[in-house]
């Protein structure tokens, strides 16, 4: 599938990855937090680990930082096996979800902490602290203590502190979770800009799919200690690997069915009392048990019946309207009881909305709209 | 997802219209504040004023054994005799006789050393408990507090049994072949230190534990992440953050140890006189109430300095938001 260059991962085929997880497992008691997971992260990449809470994404990050030791498998940084490297000698730095700023040290003291451990010369240390303060625009706060700062400023100090040692890999554990929505969005773009400027490999852990989609070159979607899909954000959204991924990322309607025919002209799937036409694919054959994922924004809704009422359409009654500002989410109940979510951009004011509750509507979609899933 | 419905009208809140200082709750708040003040006035300030007055009096062979007395029936003249009868002579006496000064110095020396020992012994214990699993912590803290269930006096008497010539300690040392002949423990300064460290350990461990236990564990991870090995992180992160606990523990031990009477009296030798013993002797043996009161007032003045230091430390800590 064609991707816009800007969204393509920076992984260059043939090059060795910067970080390699090789069949890594970590159990807490009997519960596997990370389960035989393999993953390559490349130099200069902004990689997001995305998943619901408890999926093992933070554990994976802590394994890389050295706070957890894998039960099985290897973690490589460049060519070096990290197994015998304690956290304080790893060229990775972590920005903690709680920021973990030292309350007894000033902003400058916090940023200088890691540099002092390296025994940096005084002048160089001062210059680097100054540079970091400028990087996060906190020059005026150098002598303040963490408790004298706002949440957003604390977040910046934590970021500056983790970048001060110029790590090979910066690990960000839910770095924006404590910020309010507006500030979070601003900071996301700042992170993108910062990563592009510094060229440092960033690995971010988040449960927020929008955040992962916004900042990352590639996303690794995790569930129950395993990677379900590793791909660019657009691909994860448009071509989810499974029903679970489709449902985890964004809103989706899923229909179950059986392949009726599959040839160069396209695929026809019958299920739930209707027929779906999809673009051709060579990995499915007639009779296969499949699911079709249909995003709400890819469905057209109209009060008038479409010309072709055979395939890729449905008729029903509007049962609920959720107003979200920029879009409205309609729930349409079909005559057989199936509920389909349709999102409509609010180009005009909702007050002059053409379709209201309990109106009969026709839904239709193109052959390219649905995604065929085999698991 | 929000379904479009008109928002409910905000409920009217007439209670908010009343000015806050007219509410009955502010009276209650004030009353709650006055109760501890009244308590302090009745049981701290008043006794102190009596002691202060005694320290300005002269000893008499009478009942009560001091003068002047305030004769209420004599009216204003009585008050005048009373006021002119007061003098600072006892304070002068206190500093002219080396026995008192030496006793004060000895008390300070013992208190400083004992507090240092308490810190050295108490810190690892508190640290260990704070780092123990959540299941073990209450049990371990219980063990620290457990000695309080027995009378302090009985526990000090028990130490006499342990430290005496054929006591537990000497028998153990002989049995283990560490010494050939029993050592003299009882009636030495060593015995005083053992007794003090034993008696005051909970007062050192508890505040230290409180400050170590609330410390965020991720700070140590952050330190390690920034290149700081564990032992170094103790001195650059853990210890500075536990300083409020160190301050509280040091003062909770130092202040009462300076005036300690039971431990040096039962375990110490006759040549070591801590100020508490000197005071006791003046009061009960010599029946010199005024000089005993003078000793007490000067002791209080000596202890006010570290207490004020601690207050300042606490204020700073509150300002720091810790």
pLDDT in tens, B105-139: 999 999 999 999 999 999 999 999 999 998 999 99
Query: pLDDT tens across A161-210, in order?
Result: 999 999 999 999 999 988 888 888 889 998 998 898 888 899 999 998 88
Query: pLDDT tens across A140-153, in order?
Result: 998 899 999 998 89
Between residues 252 and 281 of chain A, which touch chain B (CB distance below 8 Å)?
A: none
Q: Is residue B73 part of a domain?
A: no
Residue A228 has pLDDT above 80, yes or no: yes
The predicted structure's pLDDT at residue B1: 40
CA distance B133 to chain A (A): 16
Q: How many CA atoms lie within 13 A of B313 on its CB side?
A: 17
Residue A45 has pLDDT above 80, yes or no: yes
Retrieve residue A180's tokens: 């309010």
Q: How far is CA A265 from the centre of its chain?
A: 34
Q: Is residue B66 part of a domain?
A: no
Select from A87, A151, A172 the residue whose CB has the most chain B CBs within 10 Å, as the one to mutate to test that interface.
A87
Question: Which domains are seen in chain A, by residue range?
Answer: 5-91+167-247 (3.40.50.300), 251-373 (2.40.50.100)
Q: Is residue B63 part of a domain?
A: no
The region of weakest confidence among B15-19, B224-228, B272-276 is B15-19
ipTM above 0.85, yes or no: no
Question: Does an H or E element contain A300, and which?
Answer: strand A300-302
Residue in chain A closest to B244 (alpha carbons) equals A104
Interface A:B, Cβ pairs < 8 A: 81
DSSP B232: H
Residue B17 has pLDDT above 50, yes or no: no
CA distance B239 to chain A (A): 11
Please, are residues A268 and A276 in contact by the beta-carbon 8 Å criterion? yes
Cβ–Cβ gap B226/A102 under 8 Å: no
Query: pLDDT tens across B42-75, in order?
Result: 999 999 999 999 999 888 877 788 887 777 777 7
Backbone angles phi and psi of A343, in degrees to 5: -105, 140
Between residues 94 and 113 of chain A, which touch chain B (CB distance below 8 Å)?
A: 94, 96, 98, 100-104, 113
Percent of chain B with pLDDT over 90: 49
Cβ–Cβ gap A324/B2 under 8 Å: yes
Alpha helices in chain B, H assignment, sequence order: 24-40, 46-55, 75-85, 89-96, 98-131, 137-145, 152-163, 168-175, 189-213, 218-225, 230-233, 239-258, 262-267, 275-280, 289-319
Token look-up 């040290």 returns A105
CA distance A134 to chain B (A): 20
Question: Does an H or E element contain A305, and which?
Answer: none
Q: Is residue B198 part of a domain?
A: yes
Residue in chain A closest to B2 (alpha carbons) equals A322
CA distance A62 to chain B (A): 10
For residue B148, the enclosing domain spans 88-319
Query: pLDDT tens across B137-147, in order?
Result: 999 999 999 98
Please tell me if residue A85 touches chain B, with a CB cutoff of 8 Å.
no
The predicted structure's pLDDT at residue A1: 35
CA distance B251 to chain A (A): 22
The region of weakest confidence among A180-184, B4-8, B288-292, B304-308 is B4-8
Q: Is residue B155 part of a domain?
A: yes
Angle, helices B239-258 vs B98-131, to 10°: value is 140
**Mean pLDDT, chain A, whole residue set:** 86
Q: Is residue B50 part of a domain?
A: no
The region of weakest confidence among A167-176, B171-180, B302-311 is B302-311
Distance CA B303, CA B276 (A): 13
Query: pLDDT tens across B146-165, in order?
Result: 988 999 999 999 999 999 88
The predicted structure's pLDDT at residue B223: 94
The shares of helix, strand and coil residues in chain A, as percent rounded to the nearest 5, are 30, 35, 40
Q: Is residue B9 part of a domain?
A: no
Which residues on chain B are in Cβ contact (under 8 Å) with A87? 221, 224-225
Distance CA B31, CA A70 (A): 60
DSSP B21: G
Instruction: Read off the CATH number of the domain in which B275 is found.
Output: 1.10.3720.10
Residue B317 has pLDDT above 80, yes or no: no
Distance linking the first and last C-alpha atoms of chain A: 20
Residue B298 has pLDDT above 60, yes or no: yes
The predicted structure's pLDDT at residue B106: 92
As for how many domains chain B has, the answer is 1
Residue in chain A closest to B226 (alpha carbons) equals A114
Residue in chain B closest to A115 (alpha carbons) equals B226
Select from A59, A64, A68, A104 the residue whose CB has the most chain B CBs within 10 Å, as the one to mutate to test that interface.
A104
> B13 pLDDT band (50/70/90 cuts)?
very low
Q: Is residue B148 part of a domain?
A: yes
Cβ–Cβ gap A147/B320 under 8 Å: yes
> A221 pLDDT band (50/70/90 cuts)?
very high
Residue in chain A closest to B230 (alpha carbons) equals A88
The region of weakest confidence among A244-248, A301-305, B177-181, B275-279 is A301-305
Classify A345 as helix, strand or coil.
Answer: strand
Q: pTM higher than 0.80, yes or no?
A: no
Distance CA B203, CA B251 (A): 9
């Amino acid at each position: 599938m064609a991707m816009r260059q800007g969204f393509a991962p920076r992984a260059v085929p043939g090059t060795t990855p910067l970080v390699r997880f090789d069949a890594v497992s970590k159990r807490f008691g009997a519960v596997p937090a990370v389960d035989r997971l393999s993953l390559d992260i490349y130099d200069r990449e902004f990689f997001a680990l995305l998943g619901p809470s408890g999926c093992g994404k933070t554990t994976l990050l802590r394994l890389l930082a050295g706070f957890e030791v894998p039960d099985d498998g290897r973690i490589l940084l460049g060519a070096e096996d990290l197994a015998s490297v304690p956290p304080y000698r790893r060229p990775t730095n972590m920005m903690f979800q709680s920021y973990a700023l030292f309350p007894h040290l000033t902003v400058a003291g916090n940023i200088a902490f890691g540099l002092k451990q390296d025994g940096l010369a005084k002048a160089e240390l001062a210059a680097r602290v100054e540079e970091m303060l400028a990087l996060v625009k906190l020059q005026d706060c150098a002598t303040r203590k963490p408790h004298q700062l706002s949440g957003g400023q604390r977040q910046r100090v934590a970021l500056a502190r983790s970048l001060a040692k110029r790590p090979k890999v910066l690990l960000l554990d839910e770095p924006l979770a404590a910020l309010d929505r507006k500030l979070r969005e601003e900071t996301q773009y700042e992170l993108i800009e910062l990563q592009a400027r510094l060229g440092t490999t960033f690995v971010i852990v988040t449960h927020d799919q929008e955040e992962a989609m916004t900042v990352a070159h590639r996303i690794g979607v995790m569930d129950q200690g395993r990677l379900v899909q590793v791909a660019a954000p657009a691909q994860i959204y448009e071509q989810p690997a499974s029903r679970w991924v489709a449902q985890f990322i964004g809103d989706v309607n899923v229909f179950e069915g059986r392949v009726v025919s599959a040839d160069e002209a396209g695929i026809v799937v019958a299920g739930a009392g209707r027929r779906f036409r999809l673009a051709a694919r060579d990995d499915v054959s007639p009779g296969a048990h499949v699911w079709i994922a249909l995003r709400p924004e890819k469905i057209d809704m109209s009060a008038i019946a479409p010309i072709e009422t055979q395939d890729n359409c449905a008729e029903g009654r509007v049962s609920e309207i959720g107003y979200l500002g920029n879009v409205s989410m309609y729930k349409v109940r079909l005559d057989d009881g199936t509920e389909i979510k349709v999102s409509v951009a609010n180009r005009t004011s909702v007050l002059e909305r053409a379709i209201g509750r309990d109106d009969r509507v026709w839904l239709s979609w193109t052959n390219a709209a649905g995604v065929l899933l085999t698991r | 997802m929000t379904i479009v419905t008109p928002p409910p009208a905000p409920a009217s809140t007439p209670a908010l219209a009343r000015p806050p200082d007219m509410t009955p709750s502010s009276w209650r708040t004030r009353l709650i504040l006055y109760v501890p003040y009244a308590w302090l006035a009745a049981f701290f300030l008043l006794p102190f004023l009596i002691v202060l007055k005694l320290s300005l009096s002269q000893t008499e062979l009478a009942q009560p054994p001091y003068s002047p007395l305030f004769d209420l029936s004599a009216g204003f003249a009585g008050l005048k005799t009373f006021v002119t009868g007061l003098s600072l002579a006892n304070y002068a006496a206190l500093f002219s006789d080396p026995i008192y000064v030496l006793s004060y110095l000895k008390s300070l020396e013992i208190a400083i050393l004992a507090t240092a020992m308490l810190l050295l012994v108490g810190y690892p214990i508190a640290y260990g408990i704070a780092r123990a699993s959540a299941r073990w912590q209450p049990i371990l803290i219980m063990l620290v507090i457990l000695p309080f269930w027995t009378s302090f006096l009985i526990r000090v008497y028990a130490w006499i049994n342990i430290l005496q010539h054929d006591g537990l300690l000497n028998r153990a040392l002989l049995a283990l072949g560490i010494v050939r002949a029993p050592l003299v423990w009882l009636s030495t300064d060593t015995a005083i230190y053992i007794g003090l460290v034993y008696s005051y350990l909970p007062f050192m461990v508890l505040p230290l534990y409180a400050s170590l236990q609330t410390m965020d564990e991720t700070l140590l991870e952050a330190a390690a992440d920034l290149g700081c090995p564990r032992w170094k992180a103790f001195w650059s992160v853990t210890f500075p953050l536990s300083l409020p606990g160190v301050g509280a523990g040091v003062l909770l031990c130092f202040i009462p140890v300076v005036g300690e009477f039971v431990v040096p009296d039962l375990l110490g030798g006759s040549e070591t006189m801590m100020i508490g013993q000197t005071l006791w002797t003046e009061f009960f043996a010599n029946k010199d109430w005024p000089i005993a009161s003078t000793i007490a007032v000067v002791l209080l003045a000596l202890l006010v300095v570290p207490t004020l230091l601690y207050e300042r430390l606490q204020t700073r800590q509150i300002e720091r938001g810790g």
